Amino acid sequence: MLDQFLELRSSSSISLKRKIITTGDGSKTIQIEEWNEQYHSLHGAINEANHVFIKHGLIFFIESFPNIKSIDILEIGFGTGLNALITLLKAEALNLDINYVGVEAYPVHQDEIKQLNYVNQLSTNDTAFSKLHECSWESVHKLTPHFTLLKQQKLFSEINQKMAFNLIYFDAFGARVQPELWTESIFKIMYDGLKENGVLVTYSAKGSVRRAMQAVGFFVERLPGPPGKREMLRAQKRV
């Protein structure tokens, strides 16, 4: 089991102890012990990704716009690359072009990546997952026939793309530990980054988060949450 310290430069610079744990569906995640916070739901990392980001995000978008030929996705918190991997597999399965931008200020360490079991759990080979992590930051890489990846190492507050994305996977750590990431100013950046009729999905269902989204112009729906969670949120830039 990995047990190490990582310097996470948040607003207050703190050393955070991390370890790899197994979640309810057998897939691994990273736990930040001091925060009692995980990269994914304790009830199942893969289950959560499939429910929140794929079913209520990607599949919802495809069903809403069946004639769309290519989808631009922004991920808030690239982290372990789990959401990116599942999205890449969907792009190939559906013959749908996806351009994926993953923003991450504090990339996961190689020794942590090696301990994640997503390739086995998803019954795929490790080529795609390795490529996701081995490709360089700040350049666009065509990883498979239908999936390109751009990893950007920066803070979410530094995102400045406008009208660039169809879909945002908003997967920041919870508002309990990083309240500054669930504010009107961050959701304004997300709203401006979306194209018309763009969609943002997140696992959070907090009332304060919903109100911050509505305040910047989003139409917000509460949807059934993944295992272990009653609700989640989906926000749309309806123009």
Ligand X SMILES: C[S@@+](CC[C@H](N)C(=O)[O-])C[C@H]1O[C@@H](n2cnc3c(N)ncnc32)[C@H](O)[C@@H]1O
Site residues for ligand X per CB under 6 A: 39, 77, 79-80, 82-83, 103-106, 155-156, 171-173, 178, 181
Closest residue by beta carbon to ligand X: 79
Min separation Cβ 164 and ligand X, Å: 17
At position 54, the amino acid (one-letter code) is I
Closest CA to 236 of 88, 60, 97, 101: 60
Please say which residue, 96 or 177, places its beta carbon nearer to ligand X: 177
Report the SS3 class of residue 230: coil
Please say which residue, 29 or 99, places its beta carbon nearer to ligand X: 29
Min separation Cβ 65 and ligand X, Å: 24
Report the SS3 class of residue 24: coil
Please say which residue, 17 or 238, places its beta carbon nearer to ligand X: 17
Please say which residue, 138 or 196, places its beta carbon nearer to ligand X: 138
Min separation Cβ 156 and ligand X, Å: 4
As to burial, measured by CB atoms within 10 angstroms (0-12 exposed, 13-18 middle, 19+ buried), residue 95 is: exposed
At position 75, the amino acid (one-letter code) is E
Closest CA to 151 of 107, 88, 195: 107
Min separation Cβ 15 and ligand X, Å: 14
